[in-house]
Amino acid sequence: MALERLPILELKNLCKTYELKGHRAVDALKAVHLELYPGECLGIVGESGSGKSTLARCITHLERVNSGQIQYRQQDITRLNGKLLRQQRKQIQMVFQEPSAIFNPRMKIGAFIREPLINYKIMKGQKAEQEVLRLLERVGLSAATADKYPHELSGGEQQRAVIARAIGVEPDIILFDEATSALDVSIQQQILDLLVELRKETGISSIFISHDLAVVQQVSDRIAVMYQGEVVEVVESSRLTSSANHPYTRSLMSSVLSVREMRYRMQGQRQKQEREQAEIFQESLSG
């Protein structure tokens, strides 16, 4: 039991500075310290520019940190490269905001989901084909989706396909960076529900990043609040309303309430619209 409480991922004093010629250097991460525990969903919230994506990119080695250490299962992975990095990449998958950006427009969805299975030599041939169908079902897509091209899918379906591809390699950790932010509110909710469901089934650890605290709160166990490159507070998601101390967290929370309120109103509006349409439909039937 004590062993289970060892973090699966540990970030120690991570610093990242962007230097651009002719510009002032930006300290995107200032000594960030965080732990992710097995099976946990850690939320990361903060306004635009607070360093959330930089953190995700450093964890997945899309960016190199200037200093600090990244530990995965008690091993230092900060400066991995080559073959070891490739192997590590399988363990930590990432889902981005814009699914359309990562599709090859000429590759059918089935091939897209199958690709990492083949590349990582997890499965091939008939077995891989069957696994694709299983993965599609798991993320709530029909088997027929395998034969479609990305442009034939809606934004929500595309994001489901991306999630299917990510879970296919059975990673230890999935990072979601604003993964639902580009979707309509109702579709966003469906994807959030899917993530909660998948997590119950698979126990995959995850880091869920969003600028929207209401969204982060729905899926996370703990929430790290970022402000100008620093983690200013880590709070238990369920105790957020009572235990947040930092004034910045509180200001984020007041905007949560307004987002909730907005959603509530939108829902009400949609229901009203549906009712009206149903009435019109009834009238036309009754002539």
Tell me the two tokens of residue 191. 């994807």
Dist CA 38 CA 231 (whole Å): 21
Q: How far is the CB of 64 from ligand ADP (least distance, A)?
A: 12
Dist CA 134 CA 44 (whole Å): 30
Kindly tell me which of 50 and 220 has the beta carbon lying closer to ligand ADP: 50
Kindly tell me which of 50 and 158 has the beta carbon lying closer to ligand ADP: 50
Q: At what angle do helices 247-286 and 185-202 cross, to 10 degrees?
A: 110
Fill in the per-residue mask, 13 to 42: x = in contact with ligand ADP (CB under 6 A), - = not in contact: -----x-x-----x-x--------------
How many residues does this entry show for the chain? 287
Of 47-106, which residues contact Mg ion (CB under 5 A)? 52-53
Kindly tell me which of 219 and 226 has the beta carbon lying closer to Mg ion: 226
Dist CA 107 CA 115 (whole Å): 10
Q: How far is the CB of 101 from ligand ADP (least distance, A)?
A: 15
Dist CA 12 CA 194 (whole Å): 31
48 lies in the site for ligand ADP, by CB under 6 A: yes
* Segment interacting with ligand ADP (CB under 6 A) among 31-39, 50-58, 154-162, 217-225: 50-58
26 binds, options ligand ADP, Mg ion, none, Cβ within 5 to 8 A by partner type: ligand ADP
158 lies in the site for Mg ion, by CB under 5 A: no
Of 19-38, which residues contact Mg ion (CB under 5 A)? none
Q: Name the strand (E) or helix (H) holding 216.
A: helix 213-219
Dist CA 249 CA 226 (whole Å): 9
Q: Name the strand (E) or helix (H) holding 279.
A: helix 247-286
Binding footprint of ligand ADP on the chain (CB under 6 A): 18, 20, 26, 28, 46, 48-54
